[in-house]
Amino acid sequence: MVRFTRSDDLRGATFEGVDLRGARFVEPDLSGVVVRGAQVEGLDVDAPWLSDGDAPVLVNGVDVRGFVEAELDRRFPGRELRRAADPDGLRVAWAALESTWAATLERVAALPAIAVDVSVDGEWSFAQTVRHLVLATDVWLGRAVLGVERPFHPLGQPGPQAAEDGLDLSLFAVGTPSFAEVLEARAGRVAMVRDFLVGVTPESLGVVRRNPWSPEYPETTLSCVHVILEEEWEHHRFAVRDLAVVEASLAG
């Protein structure tokens, strides 16, 4: 099977009549890609940043961004609050997230213990997804907003580009920790965000912060909180998507 990686530059390439059935694209840059006369039965596209930027995403000439966002908000009540811009709104948004995750964890608790460590199609397991949210909180609240130089819990789950972003991977545990340990770390970080939002003010939301990944692009406290909210909702979506597959496999 042919494999293309980041070192392969396919910008501007033309593919005519090629058979891409079953192909898998992981973290590709498809901005500006034009597809014509395609057969797309069973096509599965996951684009967390679908609505970012001004350029439309066209399917048969229709910009689908608004339709997708509205459907996701319908499927995940509370998601529509993720861009709240004032302290009260952010507190309500976080409470909605906590409620959503609590329901999902109850669903997971009803499954065999092994379920949390099952990977679907090479994606993170449920436990790894929860661990990544620990890291997201450490990066965007602990480091960016609170200014802690090394706020990282060792059970945080770095992303595939973490080393390239300058994150010291030696700070993180290797192996597979118990899910009880993961939940303890997660509970601490959830409480940290909740406690921070209790005391946040309109003035503090506007304070400029250092972007932890790209210092040349400063953030505000509000934009850092928005990143946390986006991470939470997107990874919850990934988690329940794969959880449904795991549940089906266990039932079968």
Q: Where are the alpha helices (DSSP H) in the chain?
A: 65-75, 87-109, 126-137, 179-199, 202-205, 221-251
What's the maximum distance between 2 C-alpha atoms anywhere in the chain? 59
Same domain, residue pair 67 and 96: no
- Specify the CATH number for the domain of residue 202: 1.20.120.450
Same domain, residue pair 56 and 99: no
Tell me what pLDDT residue 225 has: 98
Tell me what pLDDT residue 231 has: 97
Helix axes 126-137, 221-251, angle to 10 degrees: 170
Tell me what pLDDT residue 76 has: 97
Same domain, residue pair 29 and 112: no
Same domain, residue pair 158 and 194: yes
Domain count, the chain: 2
The model's pTM is 0.92
Q: Which of 31, 49, 75 is the last residue of a domain?
A: 75
68 to 80, 163, 202: CA distances (angstroms): 12, 32, 31
73 to 43, 59, 200, 209, 234: CA distances (angstroms): 22, 21, 26, 29, 12
Same domain, residue pair 141 and 221: yes
User: What are the mean pLDDT values of the chain's consecutive 10-residue runs (252 residues total)?
Assistant: 84 90 88 91 90 91 96 97 98 98 98 96 96 98 95 94 85 94 98 98 98 94 98 97 95 78
Q: How far apart are the first and last CA of the chain?
A: 30
Q: Which of 42, 75, 108 is the last residue of a domain?
A: 75
Same domain, residue pair 92 and 41: no
Same domain, residue pair 228 and 128: yes
Same domain, residue pair 39 and 8: yes
Same domain, residue pair 66 and 38: yes
What the block records as the tokens of 234 is: 């997107």
Q: Which domain holds residue 106?
A: 80-251
Same domain, residue pair 169 and 210: yes
Same domain, residue pair 70 and 85: no
Q: Where are the alpha helices (DSSP H) in 1-144?
A: 65-75, 87-109, 126-137
Report helix, strand or coil for 118.
coil
Tell me what pLDDT residue 160 has: 85
pLDDT in tens, 127-170: 999 999 999 999 999 999 999 989 999 999 998 888 888 899 99
